[in-house]
């Protein structure tokens, strides 16, 4: 696991004043990476690093020689960031990531001699257009919350809610990477086959049980050679960082299609990622022991280690909000639906990577793993409307006087995430938001 270093010092302050604001998602202790261009600018996307309400244009900073004094690894990292995606930087591995992050931390601190030169490389986040941070070659969605799996199982299989393999194996399926968008994505209500209750034949129809799934996205850094599994003790060396992730789901479509091979059209129409990727190094102060109840099966040896038990979990506070079209028109702010914490995941980041590769599957830089819906042990911690509304049987009241069992056209869903711990600076993930549009006419 990554040790704490000078970049985590909670006393550090930046000469970028907005980074020192209490509650800022992007203090100097964070420094997440993303991809942007100025709105209306025909130039290609560039790699940036968030600091307060601004961002460092790494292409401009590298061209200006900001990193020349920091050594080969920092320079190599900055050079790799002169690209329209993070893939080349992700491929370099943890030593280069850490070196560039340290150089940025030192250059952005109060009193840094690089202030004048670096100030010219700062741009406001407002007015920028963001893209998915990396070219995602492959996307795998896991199912790591035992609370979500049990809640959904009780709705679908009351007599057998949790299938016997769940506590032995990190369940996942191969998803569609081409439909992953970035925060601000407008999602069309999907059309597919649905078998309505009591019917004998399916119909082609817009989904009426459209849902969100509160997930954490895991971006892969260096890959592994085809045929060579990644040991659980080395797995996090292959992980660049985490983001927020909304895996939109059509529950009525899913119920008809998911047997025998799992989700297909119910999931592949859209997923939405937050624009900033928080590095694993920035998350070091928020590690917690990974635990498994003594009454549950213990992981097989390839999914277990002393390091995992000591600090394999990550405490990330997650929140879900909704703002309907009527709420916007009434001037009402978004309404919180639930909150949960990533530390409650039954399977860890390192276990996902180790299991994904144990058969020799080769991961590549920029590949994305979804954590699966992150629900906690209480009803208020459910990470989907399917759970909150008890399968559509208990409508949820909104401040506008409306109710929701599933999403309606015009609804905007917002996820936010942040990490807090005693003796550490709070760091955030920003937000991921997406708005549901009406379905297109039936073919």
Q: What is the pLDDT of residues 82-125, one digit of tens each?
A: 999 999 999 999 999 999 999 999 999 999 999 999 999 999 99
How remote is the C-alpha of 338 from its chain's centroid?
Answer: 17
The pLDDT of residue 386: 98
Average pLDDT on 331-353 reads 98
| Lookup: tokens for 129 | 């257009």
Q: Using 50, 70 and 90 to split pLDDT, how confident is the model at 42?
A: confident
Q: Residue 237 and residue 5: Cα distance in Å, rounded? A: 17
Token digits for 430? 């920003």
- Render pLDDT for 130-173 as a digit per residue (tens, 0 to 9): 999 999 999 999 999 999 999 999 998 898 899 999 999 999 99
Name the packing angle between helices 72-80 and 94-108 (round to 10°): 90
250-301 tens-digit pLDDT: 999 999 999 899 999 999 999 999 999 999 999 999 999 999 999 999 999 9
Question: Does residue 40 have a pLDDT over 90?
Answer: no
Confidence of residue 41 (pLDDT cuts 50, 70, 90): confident
Question: pLDDT at residue 43 above 90?
Answer: no
| Sign of the Cα pseudo-torsion (366, 369, 370, 371, in order) | negative
pTM for this model (two decimals): 0.97
Between CA 83 and CA 368 the distance in angstroms is 19
How far is Cα 349 from Cα 316, in angstroms, rounded to an integer?
13
Q: Are the CB atoms for 235 and 218 separated by under 8 Å?
A: no
Choose among 351, 359, 335: nearest CA to 411.
335
3-class SS letters over the chain: CCCCCHHHCCCCCECCHHHHCCCCCCCCCCCCEEEEEECCCCCCCEEEEEECCEEEEHHHHHHCCCCHHHCHHHHHHHHHCCCCCCHHHHHHCHHHHHHHHHHHHHHHECCCCCHHHHHCCEEECCCEEEECCCCCCCEEEECCCHHHHHHHHHHHCCCCCCCCCCCCCCCEEECCCCCEEECCEEEECCEEEECCCCCCCCEEEECCCEECCEEEEEEECCCCCCCCCCCCCCHHHHEEEEEEEECCEEHHHHHHHCCCCCCCCCCCCCEEECCCEEECCCCHHHEECCCCCCCCCCCCHHHCCHHHHHHCEECCEEEEEEECHHHHHCCCCCEEEEEEEHHHCCCCHHHHHHHHHCCCCCCCCCCEEECCCCCCCCHHHCCCHHHHCCCCCCCEECCCCCEECCCCCCCEEEEEEEECCCCCCCEEEEEEEEEEECCCCCC
Compute CA 155 distance to the chain's CA centroid, rounded to the nearest angstrom: 26
Instruction: Assign 35 a pLDDT band (cuts: 50, 70, 90).
Output: very high
Q: What is the arithmetic mean of pLDDT over 27-53?
A: 93
Q: Which residues contact 11 (CB under 8 A, 6 or more apart)?
A: none
Q: Is 339 a catalytic residue?
A: no
Domains of the chain listed by start with CATH number: 6-131 (2.30.30.230), 139-437 (3.90.850.10)
8 A C-beta contact, residue 352 and residue 142: yes
Per-residue model confidence (pLDDT) at position 69: 87
Choice among 8, 147, 148, 355 that is catalytic: 148
Task: Check if the beta carbon of residue 366 is closer than 8 Å to that of residue 218.
Answer: no
> Which residue pairs, CB below 8 angstroms and at least 24 apart, start in 419-424?
419/283, 419/285, 419/286, 419/314, 419/315, 419/316, 419/317, 420/286, 420/315, 420/317, 421/285, 421/286, 421/315, 423/10, 423/285, 424/8, 424/10, 424/29, 424/285, 424/286
């Amino acid at each position: 696991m990554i040790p704490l270093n000078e970049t985590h010092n909670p006393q550090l302050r930046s000469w970028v004043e907005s980074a020192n604001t209490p509650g800022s998602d992007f203090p100097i202790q964070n420094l997440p990476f993303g991809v942007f261009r100025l709105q209306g600018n025909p130039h290609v996307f560039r790699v940036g690093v968030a600091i307060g309400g601004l961002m460092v244009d790494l292409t401009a900073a590298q061209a200006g020689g900001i990193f020349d004094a920091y050594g080969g690894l920092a320079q190599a990292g900055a050079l790799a960031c002169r690209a329209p995606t993070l893939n080349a930087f992700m491929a370099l591995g943890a030593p280069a990531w850490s070196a560039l992050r340290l150089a940025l931390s030192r250059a952005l601190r109060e009193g840094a001699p690089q202030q004048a030169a670096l100030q010219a490389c700062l741009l406001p986040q407002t007015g920028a257009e963001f893209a998915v941070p990396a070219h995602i070659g492959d996307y795998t969605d896991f199912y790591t919350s035992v609370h979500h799996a049990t809640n959904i199982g009780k709705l679908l299989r009351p007599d057998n809610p949790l299938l016997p393999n769940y506590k032995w194996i990190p369940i996942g399926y191969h998803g569609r990477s081409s439909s992953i968008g970035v925060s601000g994505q407008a999602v069309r209500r999907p059309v597919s086959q649905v078998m309505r209750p009591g019917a004998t034949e399916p119909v082609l129809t817009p989904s009426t049980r459209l849902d969100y799934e509160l997930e954490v996205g895991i971006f892969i850094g260096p890959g592994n050679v085809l045929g060579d599994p990644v040991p659980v003790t080395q797995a996090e060396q292959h992980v660049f960082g985490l983001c927020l992730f909304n895996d939109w789901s059509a529950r009525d479509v899913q119920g008809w299609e998911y047997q025998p091979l799992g989700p297909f059209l119910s999931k592949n129409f859209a997923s939405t990622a937050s624009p900033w990727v928080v590095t694993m190094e920035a998350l070091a102060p928020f590690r917690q022991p990974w635990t498994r109840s003594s009454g549950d099966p213990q992981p097989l040896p390839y999914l277990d280690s002393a390091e995992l038990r000591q600090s394999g979990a990550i405490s990330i506070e997650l929140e879900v909000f909704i703002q309907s079209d009527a709420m916007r028109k009434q001037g009402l702010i978004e309404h919180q639906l639930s909150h949960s914490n990533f530390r409650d995941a039954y399977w860890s980041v390192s276990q996902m990577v180790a299991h994904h590769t144990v058969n020799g599957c080769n991961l590549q830089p920029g590949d994305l793993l979804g954590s699966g819906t992150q629900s906690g042990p209480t009803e208020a911690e459910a990470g989907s409307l399917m759970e909150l509304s008890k399968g559509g049987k208990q409508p949820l009241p909104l401040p506008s006087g409306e109710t929701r069992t599933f999403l309606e056209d015009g609804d905007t869903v917002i996820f936010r995430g942040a990490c807090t711990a005693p003796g550490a600076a709070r760091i955030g993930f920003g937000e991921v938001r997406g708005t549901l549009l009406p379905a297109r006419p039936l073919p």
